[in-house]
Structure 1
Amino acid sequence: MTKPSDLPPPPRASQKPHSYERHGVTIDDPWAWLRDANYPQVGDEEVLDYLKAENAYFDAAMAPHKELLDTLFAEMKGRLKEDESSVPVKDGDWLYWWAFEPGAQYRRWFRKLATGGPDELIFDEPTEAEGKDYFRLGAMEVSPDGKLAATLVDDNGSERFKLRIRDLATGEELETVTDVAIGSPVWSNDSKAVVFTEVNENWRSYRARYHRLGADPADDVTLYEETEELGFSVGVGKSQDRSLIFIATGDNATSEVRFVSADDPSQPLVLIAARKEKREYHVDAAHGKLWVVTNDTHVNFRLAQADPADPGNWTEVIPGSDRVYLRGATSYRDHLAITTRIDGLDQLILRTYSGDETRIPFAEASYSAAFGGNPEFTPATYRLGYSSMVTPGTVYDYDPASGELEVLKVQEIPSGYDASQYETDRLLVPARDGKQVPVSVVYKKGFERNGEGKLFLYAYGAYGHAIPPSFNSNRISLLDRGWACAIAHIRGGDDLGYDWFLQGKLQQRTNTFNDFVDAAKGMVAEKFTRPGRIAINGGSAGGELMGAVANSDPELWGAVVADVPFVDVLNTMLDDTLPLTPGEWPEWGNPITDAQAFEYIRSYSPYDQVKRQPYPPMLITGGLNDPRVTYWEPAKWAAKLREYKTDTNLLLLKINMGAGHGGKSGRWERLHEVAETYAFILTQVE
Structure 2
Amino acid sequence: MKCILYTLMICCAVSACNNPKRKIMEPYKWPDAKAPIADIIPHKRVIHGDTVTDNYYWMIDYFKKGPDSTKVVDYLKAENTYLNTMMRGTDQFQADLFKEMKARIKEKDESVTVFKNGYFYYSRTEDGKQYFKYCRKKGSLSAAEEILLDVDDLAKGHAYYSATGFSISPDNNLLAFGVDKVSRRQYTIHIKNLETGEVYKDAVANTSGRAVWANDNKTIFYTANNPATLLSEKIKKHTLGADSHSDVVVYDEKDNTNYIGVGKSKNGRYILINSQGTLTSETRMIDADHPEAAFKVFTSRSKDVLYDVMPVDDKFLIVTNWNAKNFRLMECPLDQTARENWKEIIPHRKDVLLENAEEFQDYVVLSERKNGLTDLRVLKKDGSDYYIKFDEPAYDAGVGANPEYKSKTLRYSYTSLTTPSSTYDYNLEKKDQKLMKQQEVVGGYDPKEYVTERLFATAKDGAKIPIALVYKKGFKKNGNSPLLLYGYGSYGANMDVYFSSVRLSLLDRGFVFAIANIRGGQELGRQWYEDGKLMKKKNTFTDFITCGEYLIDQKYTSKGHLYANGGSAGGLLMGAVINLAPDLWNGVIADVPFVDVVNTMLDESIPLTTNEFDEWGNPKQKAAYDYMKSYSPYENIEKKAYPNLLVTTGLHDSQVQYFEPAKWVAKLRTMKTDKNVLFLKTNMEFGHGGASGRFDYLKEEALGYAFLFALEGIKK
| TM-score band w.r.t. shorter chain | over 0.9
Q: 1:610 to 1:507 in 2, by over 3 A?
A: same
Which stretch shows the higher mean deviation, 505-514 or 130-139? 130-139
Equivalences for residues 489-638 of structure 1 within 5 A:
489-592=517-620, 594-638=621-665
Contact 2:177 2:209 in 1 (8 A): no
Counterpart-to-counterpart distance in 2, 1:275 and 1:307: 19
Counterpart-to-counterpart distance in 2, 1:336 and 1:474: 36
| Counterpart residue identity of residue 622, structure 1 | T
Q: 1:414 to 1:40 in 2, by over 3 A?
A: farther
Q: Which residue of 2 aligns with 1:155?
A: 181
Q: Which residue of 1 aligns with 2:466?
A: 438
**Which residue of 224, 229, 235 corresponds with 1:208?**
235
2:497 matches 1:469: yes
2:405 matches 1:380: no
Q: Give the TM-score normalised by structure 1.
A: 0.98
Unaligned runs of 5+ in 1: none
Q: Which residue of 2 aligns with 1:68?
A: 93
Q: Which residue of 2 aligns with 1:166?
A: 192
2:260 matches 1:240: no
| Counterpart residue identity of residue 300, structure 2 | A
Equivalences for residues 212-231 of structure 1 within 5 A:
212-227=239-254, 229-231=255-257
CA offsets 1:179-214 (integer angstroms, 9 cap, x no match)? 101052211112111110010131001110111111
Counterpart-to-counterpart distance in 2, 1:41 and 1:370: 46
| Counterpart residue identity of residue 146, structure 1 | N
Contact 2:269 2:287 in 1 (8 A): yes
Contact 1:162 1:176 in 2 (8 A): no
Contact 1:422 1:443 in 2 (8 A): yes
Contact 2:202 2:243 in 1 (8 A): no
Q: 1:261 to 1:407 in 2, by over 3 A?
A: same
Contact 2:62 2:68 in 1 (8 A): no
Superposed displacement of residue 569, structure 1 = 0.2
Contact 2:120 2:136 in 1 (8 A): yes
Superposed displacement of residue 334, structure 1 = 1.0
Superposed displacement of residue 42, structure 1 = 10
Contact 1:40 1:625 in 2 (8 A): no
Counterpart-to-counterpart distance in 2, 1:648 and 1:238: 57
Superposed displacement of residue 37, structure 1 = 6.1
| Seq. identity, % | 40
Counterpart-to-counterpart distance in 1, 2:155 and 2:279: 37
Equivalences for residues 169-180 of structure 1 within 5 A:
169-180=195-206
Superposed displacement of residue 2, structure 1 = 4.6
Counterpart-to-counterpart distance in 2, 1:237 and 1:48: 40
2:60 matches 1:32: no
Q: Which residue of 1 aligns with 2:691?
A: 664
Counterpart-to-counterpart distance in 1, 2:555 and 2:633: 29
Q: Which residue of 1 aligns with 2:102?
A: 77
**Which residue of 18, 36, 40 corresponds with 1:11?**
36
CA offsets 1:346-378 (integer angstroms, 9 cap, x no match)? 111221133211211323232111111211111
Contact 2:134 2:147 in 1 (8 A): yes
Q: Which residue of 2 aligns with 1:109?
A: 134
Q: Give the TM-score normalised by structure 2.
A: 0.94
User: SS of the counterpart of 1:87?
Assistant: coil
Q: 1:97 to 1:37 in 2, by over 3 A?
A: closer
Tell me the matched-pair count.
683
Q: Which residue of 2 aligns with 1:328?
A: 356
Superposed displacement of residue 62, structure 1 = 2.0
Contact 2:367 2:398 in 1 (8 A): yes
Contact 1:3 1:650 in 2 (8 A): no
**Which residue of 664, 678, 682 corresponds with 2:705?**
678
Contact 1:532 1:555 in 2 (8 A): no
Which stretch shows the higher mean deviation, 373-382 or 519-528? 373-382
Superposed displacement of residue 41, structure 1 = 9.0
CA offsets 1:586-628 (integer angstroms, 9 cap, x no match)? 0011111x21111100000000011111111101011111111
Contact 1:89 1:373 in 2 (8 A): yes
Counterpart-to-counterpart distance in 2, 1:285 and 1:155: 36
Counterpart-to-counterpart distance in 2, 1:128 and 1:466: 34
Contact 2:592 2:656 in 1 (8 A): yes
Q: Which residue of 1 aligns with 2:457?
A: 429
Q: Which residue of 2 aligns with 1:285?
A: 311
Superposed displacement of residue 562, structure 1 = 0.4
After TM superposition, what 4+ stretches of structure 1 lie above 6 angstroms from structure 2? 40-43
Q: Which residue of 2 aligns with 1:89?
A: 114
User: SS of the counterpart of 1:102?
Assistant: coil
| Counterpart residue identity of residue 550, structure 1 | I
Which stretch shows the higher mean deviation, 43-52 or 652-661? 43-52
User: SS of the counterpart of 1:667?
Assistant: coil
Q: 1:345 to 1:243 in 2, by over 3 A?
A: same
Superposed displacement of residue 169, structure 1 = 2.4
Superposed displacement of residue 135, structure 1 = 0.6
User: SS of the counterpart of 2:110?
Assistant: coil
| Counterpart residue identity of residue 79, structure 2 | E
Counterpart-to-counterpart distance in 1, 2:209 and 2:521: 23
User: SS of the counterpart of 1:310?
Assistant: coil
Counterpart-to-counterpart distance in 2, 1:402 and 1:660: 46
Contact 1:559 1:685 in 2 (8 A): no
User: SS of the counterpart of 1:474?
Assistant: coil
User: SS of the counterpart of 1:668?
Assistant: coil
| Counterpart residue identity of residue 250, structure 1 | Q
Q: Which residue of 1 aligns with 2:8?
A: none
CA offsets 1:75-97 (integer angstroms, 9 cap, x no match)? 21121111121011111111010
Instruction: Kindly indicate whether structure 1 or structure 2 has the higher relative contact order, using CA contacts under 8 Å at least 6 residues apart.
Output: 2
Q: 1:16 to 1:3 in 2, by over 3 A?
A: farther
| Counterpart residue identity of residue 58, structure 1 | L
Q: Which residue of 2 aligns with 1:59?
A: 84
Equivalences for residues 230-309 of structure 1 within 5 A:
230-309=256-335
CA offsets 1:251-293 (integer angstroms, 9 cap, x no match)? 1221111111111122111101222222111111101311111
